[in-house]
A = this chain, B = another copy of it.
Amino acid sequence: MYAKSKTVALKNTAVNGGFWADRQKLNREVTIHSVYDRFKDTGRFDAFKLDWKEGDPNQPHIFWDSDIAKWMESAAYIIEKNPSADLEKIIDEVVDLIEKNRWDDGYFNICYTLFQPDDRFTARYDHELYCAGHLMEAAVAYYNATGKDKFLRIMCDYADMIEKAFVTEKWAEFETPGHEEIELALVKLWKTTGEKRYLELSRHFVDIRGTENDTYTQAHMPVREQEDAVGHSVRAVYLYCAMADLAAAYGDETLFNAADKLFDSMAKKRMYITGGIGQTCVGEAFLGDYDLPETSSYCETCADIGLILFAQRMYAIKPDRKYADIAELALYNGFLCGLSLDGKAFFYDNSIEVDLTGINNPHDNRHRPFYPITQRLEVFSCSCCPPNVTRLIASAGELACSANEDTLWLHQFIDGKFEDGGKKIKLETAYPDDGAMKITCSGDFRLALRLPSWCRSYTLSKDAQVSDDGYIYLDVTDGEVICYTLDMPVRFVQANRKVRQCAGRLAVQRGPIVYCAEGVDNPLPLRGLYVDPKAPAALGKDSILGLTTVELDGFMQKENDELYFDYDEELIPQKIKLIPYYAYANRGETDMLIWLTKK
């Protein structure tokens, strides 16, 4: 086998306590229902009846199949751990509608069936294959959760039909999917059914890229030659997921190396400190290396989800903390920011800095390419992110571990139980709020513990060295308890000197958590605050948010009536309170800043 390990699948995980159990409870009790209600309100569920007609409200949109598919996939993950007849009923009803309204040849798509039945597979950008892919993922998840195979069979029929249209009969009028997703979905379909044709169809869609002269959809060159992460960021990371899947399935080292280069392109040159990717709203796309605009950062939540899923695939294939570190960074910052603390509202784009004065200025004449939303919303007209958030939270346990015959890798420090064959661990931790972990092992095996690159010191109850891949390998015996504690002091972080936006600025991190200053806690303008990296930092607790805060003995530049004046080194002492970035905008609309001015 080419891949060093395989992800420990959801069924072999149990997230029972700690940070993620809380989030999954909120997801299960609030978020999944809130998203359902909004999708019901907006006609997305009813659209599957295919009875919309001119003049009716809620005209179906080309993305809607995928919105509901991701909701169903989320619900399936929830059902798998917490059976729910209500959620199952909703999914069954949708599946019945799909069965009823699909074409004889297996095709299903709401908008094409309603509006353009003669134009199937003629328009690359119309998301048919993207919607199909999400439905397939949902079908796989629902089969795994319930054992019911109707949805899976329907989607196999659809995959067979797609194979005909694009490979056997070749009547489709384009070759390269215009929004990647089907590729990774087909790999899941193969893994679940054992039908190799689906894996091969995925490879077909990935290998055929390179003929479209279109960087937006990553179709500008063969994937093995791509070195820079370009174009629409969600499309990109979904493709990279499929590249990793295919590299593992076929033992294709060239493909893995290409995926690795693309990973580095993002992680080392085109990613915000939050793990956010896609620097511009124009095409929801990547920009060039080290170009990370702040008040117009885009960082779509879905792109971070894709980045996490891509990194997860990479660290299973080749355990290396470089992948897991980035997955962790994106998970606890860019991704989590996408959801409000009450579990009901979402960011589509995630700002790196909020400057309300600029956003609200009546004279600014819309001169910026983009104005970020500053408050989370319950639903969007293009509402891809909300059900993507619910599915990642519901399946977060899968991020934790991968395994091969003799080794279990612990990549993400998620409180829970994880097992692969005879290798089991029970991880108890308050991570990421605290770096202490108690790991109870069952079975004799090799345990690999990630040592995050942000960690400068740690204690481990057993002697062991850090390997070059950034993991600590331990031989554990049945019943052994390992105590592993990562020290989590407040750290000041700077950016590469090539990032022009961050010169002379520092960000504050503790463990994997990136902190930010909010206007509700600090005097404005936030950029007028100065931090001294040599001054002590204290931890606190926010009484409303209930989160660990960082309190700095900082400074504020003096007020002045003049616009420009001779430099005056005197600053006013000013306490600065920072909260986790992911928790910003939970106390009203306010300014927010991650990159603080260095004293």
Task: Give A368 to B286 CA distance when docked, in angstroms.
Answer: 13
Q: A361-B291, A367-B369, A568-B494 are in contact. Are A530 and B504 (CB under 8 A)?
A: yes
Q: A291-B357, A504-B504 are in contact. Are A493 and B365 (CB under 8 A)?
A: no
Which residues of B are found within 8 Å of A273, using beta-carbon distances? 564
Which residues of B are found within 8 Å of A504, using beta-carbon distances? 504-505, 530, 597-598
Within 8 A of B (CB), among A326-372: 355, 357-358, 361-369
Which among A19-27, A171-179, A555-563 touches the partner chain? A555-563
Of B365, B367, B495, B560, the contact of A497 (CB 8 Å cutoff): B560
Which residues of B are found within 8 Å of A563, using beta-carbon distances? 267-269, 271, 290, 495-496, 499
Task: Give A505 to B565 CA distance when docked, in angstroms.
Answer: 12
Which residues of B are found within 8 Å of A355, using beta-carbon distances? 500
Which residues of B are found within 8 Å of A369, using beta-carbon distances? 367-369
Is B367 touching A560 in the complex (CB atoms < 8 A)? no
Q: Is A288 an interface residue (CB 8 A)?
A: yes
Task: Give A46 to B291 CA distance when docked, in angstroms.
Answer: 47
Which residues of B are found within 8 Å of A503, using beta-carbon distances? 525, 527-528, 557, 597
Is A564 touching B282 in the complex (CB atoms < 8 A)? no
Is B282 touching A492 in the complex (CB atoms < 8 A)? no
Q: A493-B567, A533-B569, A565-B493 are in contact. Are A283 and B365 (CB under 8 A)?
A: yes
Number of copies: 2
A contact residues, total (Cβ < 8 Å): 71
1/0 per residue, CB under 8 A from B, across A558-599: the answer is: 111111111111000000000000000000000000000110
Q: Is A414 an interface residue (CB 8 A)?
A: no
Task: Give A498 to B560 CA distance when docked, in angstroms.
Answer: 9
Task: Give A527 to B369 CA distance when docked, in angstroms.
Answer: 23
Is B287 touching A367 in the complex (CB atoms < 8 A)? yes
Which residues of B are found within 8 Å of A568, using beta-carbon distances? 494
Q: Is A285 an interface residue (CB 8 A)?
A: yes
Which residues of B are found within 8 Å of A269, using beta-carbon distances? 563
Is A268 touching B562 in the complex (CB atoms < 8 A)? yes
Q: Is A228 an interface residue (CB 8 A)?
A: yes
Is A367 touching B267 in the complex (CB atoms < 8 A)? no
Task: Give A286 to B369 CA distance when docked, in angstroms.
Answer: 16
Q: Is A230 an interface residue (CB 8 A)?
A: yes
Task: Give A545 to B496 CA distance when docked, in angstroms.
Answer: 33
Which residues of B are found within 8 Å of A493, using beta-carbon distances? 564-567
Task: Give A493 to B230 CA distance when docked, in angstroms.
Answer: 39
Which residues of B are found within 8 Å of A527, using beta-carbon distances? 497, 500, 503
Least distance between A42 CB and chain B CB atoms (Å): 30
Q: Is A491 an interface residue (CB 8 A)?
A: yes
Kindly list the 3 A-B residue pairs having the minimum CB-CB distance in the complex, ordered from nearest. Answer: A288-B361, A497-B528, A280-B367
12 pairs across A/B with beta carbons < 8 Å? A228-B363, A268-B563, A281-B367, A282-B366, A288-B362, A290-B563, A291-B357, A291-B361, A496-B560, A496-B563, A497-B560, A504-B597
